[in-house]
Amino acid sequence: MMRPDRFMLFKAENGAVAAVVLAGSWRRPSPPPEMPREILTKVSSLLIAGGGAALTWFRIRHHKSEFSQSVLNPYREAYIGSAASAAAHEVELDRLLQALNAAGIRSILLKGWSVGRLYPESGLRPSGDIDLWIDPAQRAQASEVLKRVASGRQSVDLDHDQFRRFENRSFDDFYASCDTVYLGSTPIKVLRREDQTRILCLHFLKHGGWRPIWLCDIAVLLESSNTAFNWELCLGSDARRARWVGCTIALARDLLGTRIPRGAPRCVTSSPPGWFTRTILREFSNPSASNATSFALLLPELSFHPWRLKSAMRGRWRNPIQATVDCNSAFDELPRWPYQLWDGIVRTHRCLRSFKQLA
């Protein structure tokens, strides 16, 4: 388990605490809490915002006598909410997949239920969008089907830039190696464990490591089977991206105590760079994600509120992870500020260009 250094304790203490609370919480039986109630109270809002509150309840619910009702209630309510949302999510997912299957449309379910089903209980992670990757040749047909059958209560996301950005394999290639799992009697295609681990890691990085539950997803997936894990498939042929994925898995090990499958190569076993861990802990400490608003809108904003320069600037930088990924750069020990600066310039230029086009 990781020992936070002084910088972390100063900048990201709550994030480190949240990670300690979540470590191993998905296992059955979950580890005893062994933490003072002040800790749970302190990080409750972080864990609720970060999606880890239901999982925390799963960890502490058999130790209720150790905590007061005021400590327990937010976690229990989050768990009830999460379980209810998951139930509604499953009903809608079943309806949509039945319709798509009946129309002969090939789809792959990404994230969400495809990893939520691996937790010991439904509803231990929050349910958001239904993320479906549709055969590109059937996209229009799928949209028609979904328009007809979707209840509108759950949003369905068919756009996944991640594959365009990070993968050179086709839909057919992924689809051919998918596992088929069942929701009730409805067959659902999900990525095989190696592909899904990779996709979850890249998704986590793309969002700058914002939500602790996404790291738990990776941990749950890695521990979901005792069968041999094909590291080559998971890490891919691009050495730089293999290191990105490797660092994320190493982080899941260091922060959450994840058991890594055997045979991991060096890009997984070696420690991630210090800036990487620090950024993640800072993100875990921040209940709302950094918005990285446009630089081009800095001047109009400052003309109204010039005294807000410092906070306005702070909200405009992508975090070191996002900036590095956006620049397609290496996870090494070099400083990150050049990437952040470059990312800011690129985004500002892009924004000014779009203003010019509008004018």
Partner 1 sequence: MKTQEINGEVRSTRFKQKKLIARTIDDELLLFDEETSNAHCLNGIAGEMWMACERASTAVEVADVLRTQWPDMEKEVVWASLSRMAAAGLLEETIDEENISTARRDLIRKIGLTAAIVLPIVVTSVLIPSPAAAASCASFGQSCATKPCCPGAGLGCVAGFCVNLH
- Of 13, 94, 129, 238, the residue at the interface with partner 1 (CB under 8 A) is 129
Residue 99 within binding range of partner 1, rule CB under 8 A: no
Verify binding: residue 290, partner 1, rule CB under 8 A: yes
156 CB contacts (<8 Å, ≥6 apart)? 96, 129, 130, 132, 146, 150
Give the largest CA-CA distance in the chain: 65
Q: How far is CA 111 from the centre of its chain?
A: 9
Instruction: Name the residue type at position 252.
Output: A
- Name the DSSP letter for residue 177: T
Residue in 179, 265, 259, 181 with CA at minimum distance from that of residue 220: 259
Q: CB count, 10 Å around CB of 168?
A: 10
DSSP letter at 328 equals T
Name the one range near partner 1 by CB under 8 A: 19-27, 191-199, 253-261, 281-289: 281-289
Considering only the stretches 20-28, 78-86, 100-108, 257-265, report the one whose residues sit in contact with partner 1 under the rule CB under 8 A: 78-86
Stretch that binds partner 1, among 16-24, 223-231, 236-244, 345-353 (CB under 8 A): 345-353
Please state the closest distance from residue 67 (CB atom) to partner 1, in A: 17
Interface segment toward partner 1; rule CB under 8 A; list 120-128, 133-141, 168-176, 190-198 = 120-128
Asked if 165 touches partner 1 (CB under 8 A), the answer is yes
94 is a site residue for partner 1 (CB under 8 A): no
**90-112 CB burial, b ≥16 within 10 A, e <16:** bebbbebbbbbeeeebbbbbbbb
Helix residue ranges per DSSP H, the chain: 6-22, 37-42, 44-49, 53-60, 69-102, 113-116, 139-149, 161-166, 171-176, 193-206, 212-222, 231-235, 239-256, 266-269, 274-284, 298-304, 309-314, 320-326, 337-358
In this structure, is the dihedral angle defined by the CA atoms of residues 265, 266, 267 and 269, taken in order, positive or negative? Answer: positive
Task: Kindly tell me which residue out of 76, 95, 192, 240 binds partner 1, with binding defined by CB under 8 A.
Answer: 76
Sheet bearing 156-157, strands edge to edge: 156-157, 130-134, 107-110, 186-190, 179-183
Distance between CA atoms of 13 and 222, rounded to whole angstroms?
26
Cβ proximity to partner 1, 125 vs 253, nearer residue: 125
Per CB under 8 A, 327 contacts partner 1: no
Stretch that binds partner 1, among 101-109, 189-197, 206-214, 217-225 (CB under 8 A): 206-214
Stretch that binds partner 1, among 16-24, 216-224, 226-234, 286-294 (CB under 8 A): 286-294
Residue placing its CB nearer to partner 1 in the complex, 309 or 352: 352
Query: Which of residues 31, 36, 68, 87 is near partner 1 by CB under 8 A?
Result: 87
- Residue 98 · residue 186 · CB < 8 Å: yes
Question: 188: which DSSP letter?
Answer: E
Residues numbered 140-159 forming contacts with partner 1, rule: CB under 8 A:
151, 153-155, 159
CB of 288 to partner 1, least distance (A): 4
Shortest CB 154 distance to partner 1, Å: 5
- x-marked contacts with partner 1 along 31-70 as a string, rule CB under 8 A: ------------------x-----------x---------
Nearer to partner 1, 121 or 223 (CB): 121
Give yes or no for residue 9 binding partner 1 (CB under 8 A).
no
Q: Toward partner 1, which CB reaches closer, 267 or 325? A: 325
Question: Least Å distance between CB 57 and partner 1?
Answer: 10
Phi and psi, residue 109, nearest 5°: -85, 125
Whether the CB-CB separation of 316 and 332 falls below 8 Å is answered with no
Residue 183 engages partner 1 in binding (rule: CB under 8 A):
no
| Sites of contact with partner 1 (CB under 8 A) | 49, 61, 76-77, 79-81, 83-85, 87-89, 91, 121-123, 126-129, 151, 153-155, 159, 161-162, 165, 206-208, 210-211, 214, 287-294, 296-297, 322, 347, 350-351, 353-354
